[in-house]
Amino acid sequence: MSTPTIDQVTDVADATAAKRAGAFRRIITTPLGLFSVIVLIGIVMLGLLEPVLRGHDPNTADLAAINAPPGTPGYFLGADQNGRDIWSRVLTAINVSVTSALIGSGVAVGIGSILGLISGYVGKRVDGVLAWIFSLLMTFPALILIMVLQPITGGTYQTMMALFGIFISPGIFWLVRNLVRGVKNELYVDAAKVSGLSNRRILSRHVLYVVRGPIIISAAFMATAAIGIQAGLAFLGFGSAQDANFGTMTADAFLNIYRAPLQLLWPSLFLGLMNAALVLLGNSYRDALAGPQAAARRHRKKRSASTSDATAPSEEPTEARKASAQTQGKLLSVRNLRVSYPNLDGTRKEVVKGISLDIHAGEIVGLVGESGSGKSQTAFSILGLLPKQAEVSADVMNLAGDSLLNHDAKLLRRMRGSVISYIPQEPMSNLDPSFTIGSQLVEGLSSSMSKKEAKETALALLARVGITDPERTFKSYPHQISGGMAQRVLIAGAVAPRPKLLIADEPTTALDVTVQAEILDLLRDLQGELGMGVLLVTHNFGVVADICDRVLVMRDGEMVEGGDVRTIFRNPSHPYTQELIASILDEETVRTDPAPAVLASAKEQK
Amino acid sequence: MIPFFLRRVGAGLVLIVIVTAITFFLTYGANIPVARNILGPTASAEQVDILNGQLGLNRPILEQYFAWIGGVLQGDLGTSYYTSEPVVQALASRLPVTLSVVLLSAAITLIISTWLGVVGAARGGVVDAVLQAFSTITFVFPAIILAIAMVYVFAISLKLVPAVGYTPFGESPERWFASVILPAIILSIGGIAALAAQIRGSLVDELSKDYVRTLRSRGVSETSILLKHALRNASGPGFTTFSLQFISLFGASLFIEKIFALPGYGTYGFQATIQFDLPAMLGVTLFGVGLVVVMNLVIDIASGWLNPKVRMS
């Protein structure tokens, strides 16, 4: 007797962006979809043909037929304890259920979608009022009111279902309102406005087109809820106990459960079939709307599961041994690193194509390239922090004498807490909003020292990275500090275990220009103090010139050039490097990051 | 935290006033022949008039409403037309029954959904399939059918618990538990699948966030990331869903009480509704909305307390 929650209803909003044309055809080509359509049509037909199909009046009691078993002549499904024909009662009950479903979901869809359209499209004040009313309505204890208001509704199931429809309408309202607000901002509505269409026409032609699918899906789920509630209310004795419906039939059969348990089967069977058909229809309509993307997503999931084993270390031991012999004495050495992701069609896309690089202790190496060049993928594969779908392989990947290709998750985790660490790009999103700065720093340290020591270390580090009031920052939550301070905190967290290798992924990109220089200074100082090797990922040659010893240039997953910073700056051999260097702005211009192109694409996504 | 708390209390009071006002004007304004019902068809018109006067039903409806409000503010909800028992007293004696079932069911829903959601987010696959099947079944078979099936199996066939009746906790904790556990489980079924799916989805979202990667880069264990960091951040949307579910759970409990013959609000309200016992009907409504408001306040405070942005404001 649960009403559909807002979640179940808005869930279906996912299923919007799709080609609706042929959605119905796609439903009936799937076995479940076809089954549900046939069952639904069949059940509705049974109800419509009731006068023809029934043998007796559903309420006529025949004393001779009391508890007649199924198959008794004239009593196809038998008769109940009052001698009433179960088959005729089932047919009548189907009509009651179908009517309940139509009224309940009809009222909800009618109220919810009309007011949702208005609220989403008109906006501002009207939206404010309607949103308030519907969020209030959502907290109404619906079933209590349906019960208590029964004297007013007259106890007929039709009025109770209409009331129920009102109570579940917020689900549709939020769904439609949010979809409309989304659509409203889309360009084609602007275009329609410019071309002189009236508001009503825009609403009906364009907006309804988008919200139609999700509405139909939630209507199917609401119909099952209405059917269930109607049966439940009747079972408990709301309305006349004489009426033939699945609720009263269940109640009668329940009283008779010891003598004729089979009588309980018929109402359950038809209720179950009807609701199963509705749920499956809703689900297959959702799948049909989601279309090929959903199918591809499933495919991808499967595929990544099956290939994850292929991530095994190099299969050419002699090659690897040869390569590893060359890498001795270096802090980090990577040979022939490849990273790939599965495509929608099952093939794989390689984003890092055989990179080799070395970092010596105490050296700052810049890894430069545009977005999409594979530089971050390279960095994360060294950290072992790529998403699950990624497939990483390399001939050699050694850090301070240990192979990172050893896929023992525990060992890798321990290395991440001590030997290798990471400074992210966007400071605010990289701190857990629910925990204090201090507890997050301490947690990263507590594997190697006691709680008390960890706290002292964290406080000392906060002071070291230039935070003026370490005690206060220690107790602060991320939302209470500025972006620059958050980046200092993250640096403190990264250097806390005194790592040998620090990987910094665009550590200054998200910061104000004035803060950028301070952070770079801090990084340089800390690097000197701790003698760390640093891999600095950036798209900014200016940063490289400022801080790096060596630079590696990546493009399209390949290394195009590498060497001493001075040499490369003076004499870039690859045209791409020349381009990147030329794009450094002169001293007077302040470059804002992220680049305008990134901003534009971020805007589009919203 | 305090302004946040006051805002929620205010919203709760508004809800209580609106719902009870709607119920009052619809029931008292419906011209239900209350006195005629009580006295029966043989009573004379004068007797009916006199009783109407005694019950105050011949006054203008607004006057009746303010009289009722005045009573509520003094803790008086009137007296039942039929039993002469004060409504407040009747409701108070039924409170433990309803609370037992509802709170037990809420706890079951919360614990099992969280567990399923966490396992689903961490493992995927099998748990997802189970959740999907489970949620389909709860849609396919109305709670009534599920309730009967469970009564049949656990109470009638296996005789693990009594099929009907309630034992107070003070009398025998074990028998109390046996009398409320089956109703509580049946009530929970509808909500578990939806809440688990919600928690699982939020957890998956959280696990793909930047701060999780940073925690991993510091060697924080996966267990801590999942259970401490991601779960806490996912709790906000989870609690929102849960508070909405509690409303329908409480509504459904009135019906479950009827099936199990538990002497709670449901049976009282059902009786009152059948008899047009207006003060009792209104009392059930008021207590019902009140309980929903209190519970939602508790949930709000819990989720606000978990969210430092709310807590510190």
pLDDT for residue A326 is more than 80: no
What pLDDT is recorded for position A329?
A: 63
B190–chain A Cβ distance below 8 A for any pair: yes
Please state the separation of Cα A347 from the chain's center in Å: 24
Q: Which of A35-39, A303-307, A393-397, B100-104 has the lowest mean pLDDT?
A: A303-307
Shortest distance between the Cα of B244 and any Cα of chain A, in A, equals 7
Would you state the structure tokens that stand for residue A247, as one six-digit string? Answer: 């609720």
Question: In a 3-state reduction of DSSP, which class is residue B158?
Answer: coil
Phi–psi pair at A308, nearest 5 degrees: -60, -25
pLDDT for residue A196 is more than 70: no
pLDDT for residue A148 is more than 50: yes
What pLDDT is recorded for position A5?
A: 42
Range among A371-380, A400-409, B135-144 with highest mean pLDDT value: A371-380
pLDDT for residue A436 is more than 70: yes
What pLDDT is recorded for position B88?
A: 94
What is the helix (H) or strand (E) element at residue B27, kind and residue range? helix B2-28
The span from the CA of A343 to the CA of A432, in Å, is 32
Q: How does B170-184 read in b/e, with b if 16+ C-beta sit within 10 Å?
A: eeeeebbebbbbbbb
Q: Which residues of B touch A139 (CB under 8 A)?
A: 15, 244, 247, 292, 296
The span from the CA of B25 to the CA of B74, in Å, is 21
B132–chain A Cβ distance below 8 A for any pair: no
- Mean pLDDT of the B175-199 span: 88
Please state the separation of Cα A139 from the chain's center in Å: 26
Q: Do B215 and A138 touch (CB under 8 A)?
A: no
Helices (H), A419-512: 437-445, 451-464, 470-475, 483-495
- Locus of tokens 């275009």: A191
User: Model confidence over A547-568: pLDDT tens digits?
Assistant: 899 999 998 888 888 888 888 8
Return the axis-axis angle of helices B2-28 and A124-138, rounded to nearest 10°: 80
Return the axis-axis angle of helices B173-207 and B231-259, rounded to nearest 10°: 140
Count of alpha carbons within 13 angstroms of residue A424, beta-carbon side: 22
Q: Which residues of B touch A498 (CB under 8 A)?
A: none
The span from the CA of A293 to the CA of A461, in Å, is 48
- Mean pLDDT of the B66-81 span: 91
Q: Which of A196-200, B247-251, B275-279 has the lowest mean pLDDT?
A: A196-200
- Locus of tokens 């090797």: A533
Confidence of residue A536 (pLDDT cuts 50, 70, 90): very high
- Which of A2, A149, A426 is facing B248, going by the closest CB pair? A2
pLDDT for residue B235 is more than 60: yes
Q: Is the dihedral of CA A486, A487, A488, A489 positive or negative?
A: positive
**Largest interatomic CA distance in chain B:** 86
Please classify residue A30 by burial: count the beta carbons closer than 10 Å to its beta carbon, then call 0-12 exposed, 13-18 middle and 19+ buried: middle
Q: Do B190 and A2 touch (CB under 8 A)?
A: yes
Q: Do A152 and B145 touch (CB under 8 A)?
A: no
User: Model confidence over A259-318: pLDDT tens digits?
Assistant: 888 888 899 899 989 998 998 888 888 777 765 444 444 444 443 333 333 333 434 444
Whether residue A594 is preceded by a cis peptide bond, meaning omega within 30 degrees of 0, is yes
What pLDDT is recorded for position A291?
A: 54
Q: Do B217 and A416 touch (CB under 8 A)?
A: yes
B30–chain A Cβ distance below 8 A for any pair: yes
Would you state the structure tokens that stand for residue B14, as one six-digit string? Answer: 């508004």
- Which of B15, B144, B229 is facing A139, going by the closest CB pair? B15
What pLDDT is recorded for position A399?
A: 85
- Mean pLDDT of the A233-253 span: 85
Percent of chain A with pLDDT over 70: 82
- Mean pLDDT of the B192-219 span: 88
What pLDDT is recorded for position A237?
A: 82
Determine contact, residues B218/A416, Cβ cutoff 8 Å. yes
Q: How does B192-217 read in b/e, with b if 16+ C-beta sit within 10 Å?
A: bbbbbbbbbbbbbebbebbbbbbbbb
Confidence of residue A384 (pLDDT cuts 50, 70, 90): confident
More confident residue, A512 or A113: A113
Shortest distance between the Cα of A440 and any Cα of chain B, in A, equals 8
Q: Which residues of B touch A235 (CB under 8 A)?
A: 144
- Mean pLDDT of the B124-136 span: 76
Helices (H), A308-395: 317-326, 375-383
- State how beta strands A558-564 and A391-393 pair: unpaired
DSSP-derived secondary structure for A317-334: HHHHHHHHHHTTT-SEEE
Task: Determine the residue of chain A that is closest to B34 in CA distance.
Answer: A151
The span from the CA of B178 to the CA of B159, in Å, is 11
Q: Which residues of A touch B32 (CB under 8 A)?
A: 151
- Which of B32, B273, B308 is facing A477, going by the closest CB pair? B308
Q: Which residues of B touch A434 (CB under 8 A)?
A: 229, 232-233, 306-308
The span from the CA of A593 to the CA of A513, in Å, is 9
Phi–psi pair at A352, nearest 5 degrees: -125, 125
User: Complex ipTM, two decimals?
Assistant: 0.82
Among the listed residues A532, A548, A475, A540, the one whose alpha carbon sits nearest the alpha carbon of residue A513 = A540
Phi-psi group of B276: left, alpha or beta (phi > 0 → left; psi -120 to 50 → alpha; rest → beta): left
- Mean pLDDT of the B69-78 span: 91
In one letter, which amino acid is A76? F
Q: Is the dihedral of CA B264, B267, B273, B277 positive or negative?
A: negative
Question: In a 3-state reduction of DSSP, which class is residue A176?
Answer: helix
Q: Which residues of B touch A429 (CB under 8 A)?
A: 209-211
Q: Which residues of A touch B214 (CB under 8 A)?
A: 422, 424, 430-431, 490, 493
The span from the CA of B205 to the CA of B121, in Å, is 9
- Which of B18, B30, B143 is facing A1, going by the closest CB pair? B143
Confidence of residue B220 (pLDDT cuts 50, 70, 90): confident
Determine contact, residues A504/A490, Cβ cutoff 8 Å. no
**A479 C-beta neighbours (distance < 10 Å), count:** 13
Q: What is the pTM for the complete model shown?
A: 0.79
Q: Which residues of B touch A419 (CB under 8 A)?
A: none
Q: Do B217 and A150 touch (CB under 8 A)?
A: no
Confidence of residue A2 (pLDDT cuts 50, 70, 90): very low
pLDDT for residue A167 is more than 50: yes
Between the two ends of chain B, the Cα-to-Cα distance in Å is 6
Q: Which of A237-246, A424-433, A576-585 has the lowest mean pLDDT?
A: A576-585
- Mean of all residue pLDDT scores within chain A: 80
Determine contact, residues A116/A175, Cβ cutoff 8 Å. yes
Confidence of residue B58 (pLDDT cuts 50, 70, 90): confident
- Mean pLDDT of the A393-415 span: 81
Q: Do A2 and B152 touch (CB under 8 A)?
A: no
Cβ-based contacts under 8 A for chains A and B = 229
Task: Determine the residue of chain B that is closest to A388 in CA distance.
Answer: B208
Question: DSSP label at A450?
Answer: -
What pLDDT is recorded for position A67?
A: 84
The span from the CA of A350 to the CA of A340, in Å, is 4
The span from the CA of B287 to the CA of A439, in Å, is 43
More confident residue, B106 or A398: B106
User: Model confidence over A478-488: pLDDT tens digits?
Assistant: 999 988 899 99
User: Model confidence over A103-117: pLDDT tens digits?
Assistant: 999 999 999 999 998
Percent of chain A with pLDDT over 90: 19
Determine contact, residues A537/A505, Cβ cutoff 8 Å. yes
3-state secondary structure A111-126: HHHHHHHHHHHHCHHH
Would you state the structure tokens that stand for residue A540, as one six-digit string? Answer: 């900014």
Determine contact, residues A420/A402, Cβ cutoff 8 Å. no
- Mean pLDDT of the B172-176 span: 91
The span from the CA of B305 to the CA of B312, in Å, is 9
What pLDDT is recorded for position A188?
A: 56
What pLDDT is recorded for position A303?
A: 37
What pLDDT is recorded for position A406?
A: 67
What pLDDT is recorded for position A197?
A: 63
Strand partners, A537: A367, A505
What pLDDT is recorded for position A603?
A: 45
Determine contact, residues A525/A491, Cβ cutoff 8 Å. no
The span from the CA of A94 to the CA of A9, in Å, is 25
Q: Which residues of B touch A430 (CB under 8 A)?
A: 210-211, 213-214
Please state the separation of Cα B57 from the chain's center in Å: 31
Confidence of residue A52 (pLDDT cuts 50, 70, 90): confident
The residue of B218, B244, B249, B258 whose CB has the most chain A CBs within 10 angstroms, and thus the best one to mutate to test that interface, is: B218
pLDDT for residue A574 is more than 70: yes
The span from the CA of A282 to the CA of B114, in Å, is 26
Determine contact, residues A489/A465, Cβ cutoff 8 Å. yes
